[in-house]
């Protein structure tokens, strides 16, 4: 955002430019610098560097000229050269940090700001440096945040010159914006003076088609009969048909038009021509549509401050509150946001600062109000992605960065909300046509995800081990509290599919008399892909589930995997506890069975020792299971030592490990409750 006078992004610009009369002894570069003619000053200072003339200070002044014309990202190398050259300036280190931040070098910026906070001599900047260091550290996290928005350049409007500050005139639905595309160049940054322009889109929803016209031509030929003007300026008189421009003046900037709900009152920002002060200060002006024409713009009474720039006005949707930015004294620092309300006398009240939750020692500019009343604004004082970012004020007062792709490491500013989730903003990000360009943004329709558990129920013959799909088997879906929330029947091939909620945890259970209950946990928590990874508006995601019902055979040993003990010990380790918890669940799911839990050792060691150790290990496992609520009458412990090896001639460690095992077998099958044997 290079259009400093109307945009007023650079903190301290008024202080630097005020009192611009050139004093004796100043170089040509210094004189240009003091008059705010930064573009010419930069070239003159570069010539001084080439000649070896006061190199450190000349480099610093180049950096300052870029910063004060809001091109601080281009100042980085000059600030560094100045500091390396030993420049004597109390603010150099802080301003170097700003340049690093503007270029997205957040870790380097944080270190630079922290160094200035420790060693700097400008007390005001020392306090700000501490906050900037925190912001830069927070910005490293923001770079990874990407929101569900899409951004499209309005290329039928954009030119190599600046385009920014868009709004829609409510009665005619024209898009009004500022641009420096025509006229004399402003010496502060080498770009054109800003004027107001208008376009009537052929497709307003997509913002396509139409022809850009000077706002002057549109305003003076409204194409509609006069209507009662909005109250607010009883002394205003219609402009005389003098042939002179009414809104777009030569050698001044005009930008940031805003309208009353009926379109009959217009407030905008205009600079003076610099003939008296030596620089272009900015004030708010109002014009009213009366008698078929617009009145001569006049200063908005009671709102402007003679010692400051007042700019980027916006009216609330009901037209009763005027928000704007100002560099006036008494704020938090830099530019602050203010508001004034329409009083009973149809004049605005004294402006009120929006407070330190919104305003910072940096710059807050370009407020905007969505149709639902939500306040948006631009700032470089809150954690962001580089220079100015767009922010939203939440209902609880918290300020939220809108994130990429709306924000970038360039200036992203001047939002206008056409709906609660779409609108227009300006940016000088890479890839544009040049300077500031207008972009449309909208929240993409949220892509939806439906989760399913999908799989088969298979039955296994307990004696032969053969398996086959089970048709017409009931699968129960239990929630995290163990309550059944739905059931589904398997098809002829044993398959099933059941819908699940997102961010939920389930257990799928199949149960058949004479078989071990089959259970599998399923969770959809954290499984929803990112929006940019979803191919369709509606997306089905299946989670595979396989439920195996194994026939219960009495006295058939079943190995319990992954039950390990420390050497010569029988304590239940955490990894063994996790496996024994599965055994607990098996006993809960199959209340009709009683089991023997056995422990086996390998053949190494003495027989008696192995027998005692295996019995203690088996008993420890049983005690653990009983501690989880299983009746002790349903489970017994048995240590077999080395008497029942799986591999009788074990030689390798792997073979010995197979012999060191824990098993269980069903010793009794009780009749289900309510039945008889």
Best CA proximity match to 519, nearest among 608, 422, 453, 448: 453
Domain termination site, one of 530, 551, 572: 551
30 vs 234, residue with greater confidence: 30
Tracing tokens 């943004």 back to the chain, one arrives at 441
On the question of pLDDT at 195 being above 50, the answer is: yes
On the question of pLDDT at 158 being above 90, the answer is: yes
- Beta-strand ranges (E) seen in 225-306 are 254-259, 265-271, 282-290, 293-294, 298-299
Q: Is 256 helix (H, G, I), strand (E, B) or coil?
A: strand
- Asked whether residue 501 falls in the same domain as residue 430, the answer is no
Whether residue 675 is contained in a domain is answered as no
According to DSSP, the β-strands at 635-641 and 593-600 are parallel
On the question of pLDDT at 4 being above 60, the answer is: no
CATH number at residue 594: 3.30.1330.60
CATH number at residue 88: 1.25.40.10
On the question of pLDDT at 365 being above 70, the answer is: yes
- Asked whether residue 213 falls in the same domain as residue 334, the answer is yes
- Asked whether residue 496 falls in the same domain as residue 423, the answer is no
- HEC profile for 604-667? CCCHHHHHHHHHHHHHHHHHHHHHCCCCHHHEEEEEEECCCCCCCCCCCHHHHHHHCCEEEEEE
In Å, what is the CA distance from 54 to each residue of 72, 86, 88, 135?
22, 11, 11, 34
Q: What is the pTM of this model?
A: 0.68
- Asked whether residue 477 falls in the same domain as residue 424, the answer is no
In Å, what is the CA distance from 483 to each residue of 186, 451, 476, 478, 496?
73, 19, 10, 5, 20
| Crossing angle for the helix pair 123-142 and 106-119, to the nearest 10 degrees | 160
Whether residue 676 is contained in a domain is answered as no
Supply the range of the domain harboring residue 82. 4-142
Tracing tokens 């009152």 back to the chain, one arrives at 265
How confident is the model at residue 505, as a pLDDT? 97
Burial 135-174 (b: 16+ CB within 10 A, else e): bbbebeebeeeebebebebbeebbbebbbbbbbbbeebeb
Domain termination site, one of 96, 127, 142: 142
- Asked whether residue 196 falls in the same domain as residue 339, the answer is yes
The count of structural domains within the chain is 4
Tokens of 523: 């969770």
> Within 13 A of 357's CA, how many CA atoms are on the CB side?
11
Cis peptide before 587 (omega within 30 of 0): no
Domain termination site, one of 443, 474, 503: 443
How confident is the model at residue 223, as a pLDDT? 52
Chain-wide mean pLDDT for the chain? 88
Whether residue 677 is contained in a domain is answered as no
- Asked whether residue 322 falls in the same domain as residue 295, the answer is yes
- Asked whether residue 39 falls in the same domain as residue 109, the answer is yes
| Contacts (Cβ under 8 Å, ≥6 apart) of 195 | 178, 179, 180, 182, 183, 214, 215, 216, 247, 248, 254
- Asked whether residue 74 falls in the same domain as residue 17, the answer is yes
Section 306-316 average pLDDT:
95
How confident is the model at residue 660, as a pLDDT? 87
Section 393-420 average pLDDT:
94
pLDDT tens profile 251-269: 899 999 999 999 999 999 9
Q: DSSP secondary-structure letter at 146?
A: B
Whether residue 277 is contained in a domain is answered as yes
On the question of pLDDT at 84 being above 50, the answer is: yes
pLDDT tens profile 513-529: 999 999 999 999 999 99
Best CA proximity match to 616, nearest among 570, 559, 568: 570
Best CA proximity match to 302, nearest among 346, 258, 270, 355: 346
On the question of pLDDT at 5 being above 50, the answer is: no
How confident is the model at residue 85, as a pLDDT? 96
pLDDT tens profile 631-659: 999 999 999 999 999 999 988 988 988 89
Contact 293, 238 (CB under 8 A): yes
Region at 579 (left for phi over 0; alpha for psi -120 to 50; beta for the rest): alpha
Contact 21, 40 (CB under 8 A): no
How confident is the model at residue 445, as a pLDDT? 85
- Asked whether residue 282 falls in the same domain as residue 370, the answer is yes
Q: DSSP secondary-structure letter at 422?
A: E
Contact 552, 583 (CB under 8 A): no
Q: DSSP secondary-structure letter at 348?
A: B
pLDDT band (50, 70, 90) for residue 349? very high
How far is Cα 247 from Cα 90, in angstroms, rounded to an integer? Answer: 42
Q: What is the largest CA-CA distance in the chain?
A: 119
CATH number at residue 486: 2.60.40.10
- Asked whether residue 284 falls in the same domain as residue 395, the answer is yes
- Asked whether residue 349 falls in the same domain as residue 438, the answer is yes
Tokens of 363: 């710059």
Write down how long the chain is: 677
As a whole-number percent, the residues of the chain with pLDDT over 70 amount to 91
Whether residue 674 is contained in a domain is answered as no
How confident is the model at residue 25, as a pLDDT? 62
In Å, what is the CA distance from 487 to each residue of 429, 481, 550?
55, 16, 21
Section 549-560 average pLDDT:
92
pLDDT band (50, 70, 90) for residue 20? very low
- Asked whether residue 169 falls in the same domain as residue 104, the answer is no
């Amino acid at each position: 955002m290079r259009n400093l006078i109307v945009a007023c992004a650079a903190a301290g610009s008024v202080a630097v430019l005020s009192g611009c009369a050139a004093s004796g002894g100043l170089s040509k570069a210094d004189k240009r610098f003091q008059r705010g003619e930064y573009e010419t000053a930069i070239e003159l200072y570069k010539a001084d560097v080439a000649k070896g003339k006061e190199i450190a200070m000349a480099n610093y002044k180049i950096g300052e000229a870029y910063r004060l014309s809001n091109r601080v990202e281009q100042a980085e190398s000059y600030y560094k050269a100045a500091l390396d050259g030993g420049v004597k300036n109390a603010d150099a280190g802080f301003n170097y940090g700003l340049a690093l931040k503007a270029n997205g070098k957040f870790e380097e910026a944080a270190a630079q700001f922290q160094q200035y906070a420790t060693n700097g001599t400008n007390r005001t900047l020392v306090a700000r440096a501490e906050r900037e260091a925190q912001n830069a550290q927070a910005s490293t996290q923001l770079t990874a945040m990407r929101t569900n928005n899409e951004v499209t350049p309005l290329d039928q409007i954009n030119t190599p010159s600046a385009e920014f500050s868009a709004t829609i005139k409510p009665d005619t639905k024209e898009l009004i914006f500022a641009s420096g595309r025509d006229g004399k160049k402003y010496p502060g940054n080498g770009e054109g003076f800003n004027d107001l322009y208008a376009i009537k889109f052929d497709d307003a929803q997509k913002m396509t088609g139409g022809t850009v016209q000077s706002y002057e031509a549109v305003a003076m030929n409204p194409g509609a009969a006069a209507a009662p003007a909005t109250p607010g300026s009883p002394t205003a008189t219609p402009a005389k048909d003098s042939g002179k421009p009414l809104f777009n003046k030569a050698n001044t900037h005009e930008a940031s038009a805003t309208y009353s709900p009926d379109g009959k009152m217009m407030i905008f920002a205009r600079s003076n021509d610099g003939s008296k002060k030596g620089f272009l200060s900015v004030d708010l002006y109002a014009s009213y549509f009366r008698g078929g024409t617009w009145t001569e713009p006049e200063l908005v009474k009671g709102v402007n401050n003679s010692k400051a720039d007042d700019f980027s006005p916006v009216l609330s949707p009901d037209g009763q509150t005027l928000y704007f930015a100002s560099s006036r004294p008494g704020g938090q620092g830099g530019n602050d946001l203010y508001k004034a309300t329409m009083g009973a006398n149809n004049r605005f009240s004294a402006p009120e600062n929006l407070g330190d939750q919104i305003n910072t020692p940096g710059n807050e500019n370009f407020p905007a109000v969505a149709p639902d009343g939500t306040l948006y604004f631009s700032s470089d004082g809150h954690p962001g992605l580089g220079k100015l970012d767009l922010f939203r004020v939440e209902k609880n007062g918290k300020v939220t960065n809108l994130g990429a792709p709306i924000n970038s490491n360039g200036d992203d500013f001047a939002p206008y909300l056409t709906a609660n989730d779409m609108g227009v903003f300006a940016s000088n990000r890479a890839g544009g046509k040049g300077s500031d360009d207008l972009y449309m943004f909208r929240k993409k329709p949220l892509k939806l995800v439906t989760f399913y558990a999908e799989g088969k129920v298979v039955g296994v013959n307990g004696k032969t081990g053969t398996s086959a799909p089970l048709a017409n088997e009931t699968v129960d879906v239990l929630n995290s509290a163990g309550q059944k929330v739905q059931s589904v029947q398997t098809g002829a091939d044993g398959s099933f599919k059941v819908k699940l909620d997102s961010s939920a945890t389930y257990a799928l259970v199949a149960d058949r008399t004479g078989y071990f209950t089959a259970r599998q946990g399923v969770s959809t928590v954290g499984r929803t892909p990112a929006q940019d990874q979803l191919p369709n508006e509606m997306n089905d995601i299946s989670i595979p589930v396989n439920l195996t019902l194994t026939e219960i055979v009495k006295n058939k040993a079943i190995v319990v995997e992954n039950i390990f003990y420390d050497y010569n010990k029988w304590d239940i380790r955490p990894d063994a506890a996790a496996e024994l918890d599965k055994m607990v669940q098996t006993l809960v799911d199959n209340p009709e069975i009683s089991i023997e839990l056995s422990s086996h050792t390998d053949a190494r060691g003495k027989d008696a020792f192995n027998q005692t150790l295996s019995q203690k290990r088996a008993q420890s496992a049983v005690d653990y299971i009983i501690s989880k609520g299983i009746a002790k009458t349903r489970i017994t412990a048995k240590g077999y030592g080395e008497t029942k090896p799986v591999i009788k001639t074990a030689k390798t460690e792997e073979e010995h490990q197979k012999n060191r095992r824990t098993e269980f077998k069903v010793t009794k099958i009780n009749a289900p409750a309510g039945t008889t044997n």
